[in-house]
Amino acid sequence: MKVAKFGGSSVANAEQIKKVAAIIKQDQERKVVVVSAPGKRDENDTKVTDLLIKLADACLNGESGEKELVHVVKRYQSIAEELNLSEKIVRIIEEDLKARMASSKEDSRIFLDLLKASGEDNNAKLIAAYFQSIDLEAEYIDPKEAGLYVSDEPGNAQVLEESYIRLSHLKDHKKIVVFPGFFGYSKEGVLVTFPRGGSDITGSILAAAVQADLYENFTDVDSVFAANPTVVHNPVKIKKMTYREMRELSYAGFSVFHDEALIPAFKNKIPVCVKNTNNPSSSGTMIISEREYFLNPVIGIAADEGFATIYVRKYLMNREVGFGRRLLQILEDEGISYEHIPSGIDDTSVILREEQLNEEKEKRIVERIKSELEVDDVYFEHGFAMIMIVGEGMHNTIGLSARATAALSKANVNIEMINQGSSEVSLGLAVHQEDASASVKALYEEFFGGVKEETVS
């Protein structure tokens, strides 16, 4: 059995949905299909999810939302007409949207989740209707009825363990299951969405629940690349990679998966294959538990921007028991998570994402660190990018850090911080944001410049 998930670009219009149907017809093992909301049809288009956010905002602002509703319904109507579906499915979608708009707005987060999730939910209904119209035995499945239970955290739902048992019955379903991605339900019956990349998470959960032989993630690229193609010209394709490598690269800005999306598949050792809806015959990239890595210790290079550093200095810091705990407690009190903590004997730096900060928070944090920890100096610095060099073979490779630093030196890039994870699967380098692209290019040339093959594994 295979679980196949199709992203927004794969279900953006009728032409793409016809490709999806052909892919499902081609392989009878594809029994569970997870779909996203319609994505952009071209670079100037607007995703349905963004249209739904505008609709939700209008309703929350006390407006009727009629204008925004028309835009959403028109997208589905155009798809339905091109697929030769009856008006019935469009009426079902419109009535569903109106019912959601009339829901309680007491908690704006819950209301926003309810509207956003309609993108996937209604697209699943439409795609199931199309499958049926071309004699594919398929059925839309409601996540609530199926038993996809999640934590009550709007916009940041976590799957509850009991969901796997409840969802396991899907493997015995006689028809092709068409399942909406991105959301589940709390134990109280409230709709709650996953974080960004939520449809990938749904696909991974279902693959684990039905113990699929393979989880196929269909997108608009032939494979995962060793570097961002918008930064590096024609980067090599990755043929095979491990879950840990994918997670490290996703965390550092690879857009194929959200960094948490594969955890259910990873825990159940289910292989994942990234494939192209527009070129399904391509072998894609296999993501597996283990791989041979003697050809190249590095599998990929990624960059992510938007980091800040809290720099703290105190003489004999290393002898002060509990200093690190008290420092992190101050951040916890402000609801801030950290990414890295490189340190010396008299100083430490805490690297975190800037989106968690504002001027007021920064001022409070600095004042508390000064008064409670009695430090010699403390200040924030902004505008950093994290460059991640990732590969399972790195821990057996001598001189890799030296090669990386030499490559950046040649590119005239100043390294602000180096952090090697304890697993040694990744090496993190902090640079100023304006040097991010130059850093990726220099490191790609260093580690892949001599690679003649189209793919690496």
**Following DSSP, what letter does each residue of 46-59 receive, concatenated?**
--HHHHHHHHHHHH
Quickly state the pLDDT bin for 451 (edges 50, 70, 90).
Answer: low
Look-up of token digits 């363990």: 161
Summarised one tens digit per residue, pLDDT across range 128-185 is 999 999 999 999 999 999 999 999 999 999 999 999 999 999 999 999 999 999 999 9
> Using CA atoms, how far apart are residues 9 and 232, in angstroms rounded to an integer?
23
**C-alpha dist (Å) from residue 406 to 33, 351, 438:** 47, 24, 14
Residue with tokens 């993501």, as numbered in its chain: 287
Could you list the beta-strand ranges (E) of 109-209.
Answer: 138-140, 176-180, 183-185, 191-193
For 56-116, the DSSP string reads HHHHHTT---HHHHHHHHHHHHHHHHHTT--HHHHHHHHHHHHHHHTS--SSHHHHHHHHH
The residue ranges of every structural domain in the chain are 2-220
Average pLDDT of span 442-455: 77
Residue 253 has pLDDT above 80, yes or no: no
**Helices of type H across 238-349:** 243-251, 263-267, 323-333
What is the rounded distance in angstroms from the CA atom of residue 215 to the CA atom of residue 30?
Answer: 9
From the list 272, 368, 313, 296, the residue with the least C-alpha distance to 2 is 272
pLDDT in tens, 295-318: 678 999 999 999 999 999 999 999
Query: Residue 453: pLDDT above 80?
Result: no
Residue 401 backbone dihedrals phi, psi, to 5 degrees: -65, -40
pLDDT of residue 195 exceeding 90 = no
Binding-site entries for ATP: 5-8, 219-220
Of the ranges 88-92, 414-418, 427-431, 447-451, which is most confident? 88-92
Residues contacting 277, CB < 8 A, separation 6+: 6, 9, 10, 16, 19, 20, 23, 218, 219, 220
Tens digit of pLDDT for each residue in 45-89?
Answer: 999 999 999 999 999 999 999 999 999 999 999 999 999 999 999
The pLDDT value given to residue 452: 55
pLDDT at 422: 59
pLDDT value for 381: 94
Least confident of 42-46, 219-223, 270-274, 405-409: 219-223
Instruction: State which amino acid sits at residue 381.
Output: E
pLDDT of residue 325: 94
- Sequence-ordered list of residues with C-beta below 8 angstroms from that of 431, at least 6 positions apart, any chain: 384, 385, 387, 408, 413, 414, 415, 416, 439
Beta bridge partners of 180: 35
Q: How far is the C-alpha of 255 from the C-alpha of 398, rounded, in Å? A: 30
Which residues are documented as binding site? 5-8, 49, 120, 219-220
Question: Which residue did the predictor score with more confidence, 291 or 140?
Answer: 140
Q: Hunting for tokens 């249209």 — which residue is that?
A: 51
Alpha helices (runs of H) in 159-284, residue ranges in sequence order: 162-167, 198-209, 243-251, 263-267
CATH classification code of 2-220: 3.40.1160.10
Give the pLDDT band of residue 252 (cuts 50, 70, 90). Answer: confident
Gyration radius of the chain over CA positions: 24
pLDDT band at 421 (very low <50, low <70, confident <90, very high): low
Report whether 454 contacts 236 (CB < 8 A).
yes
Alpha-carbon span 200 to 421, nearest angstrom: 26
Assigned token pair, 67: 């204008």
What is the band of 259 on the pLDDT scale with cuts at 50, 70, 90?
low
338-363 confidence digits (pLDDT tens): 988 888 899 999 999 999 999 999 99
Look at residue 220 and tell me whether its pLDDT is greater than 80: yes
Mean pLDDT computed over 118-135 = 97
Residue 415 has pLDDT above 80, yes or no: yes
Neighbours of 281 (CB within 10 A): 9
Report the length, in residues, of the chain. 457
Annotated binding site for substrate: 49, 120
Please say if the pLDDT value at position 257 is more than 80.
Answer: no
Return the closest-CA partner of residue 307 out of 380, 390, 404: 380
**Cα torsion angle, 231, 232, 236, 240, sign:** negative
CA distance 373 to 82: 66
| Mean pLDDT within 89-112 | 97
Give me the pLDDT at residue 292, please.
Answer: 67
Angle, CA of 159, 162 and 167, to the nearest 5°: 85
Question: Looking at 67-71, 258-262, 419-423, which range is the least confident one?
Answer: 419-423
Residue 100 predicted with pLDDT over 60: yes
Comparing C-alpha atoms, which of 321, 355, 349 is closest to residue 335? 355
Q: For residue 457, what pLDDT band results from cuts at 50, 70 and 90?
A: low
Residue 455 confidence class, pLDDT cut points 50, 70, 90: low
Q: Which of 125-134, 260-269, 408-417, 427-436 has the lowest average pLDDT?
A: 260-269
Is the separation of the CB atoms in 348 and 380 below 8 Å?
no
Long-range CB pairs of 335-343, under 8 A, 24+ apart, other chains included: 336/361, 336/365, 339/307, 339/386, 340/386, 340/417, 340/419, 340/428, 340/430, 342/417, 342/418, 342/419, 343/317
Q: Using pLDDT thresholds of 50, 70 and 90, give the confidence band for residue 418.
A: confident
Query: Is residue 223 very low, low, confident or very high in pLDDT (cuts 50, 70, 90)?
Result: confident
H-only helix segments in 223-374: 243-251, 263-267, 323-333, 359-373
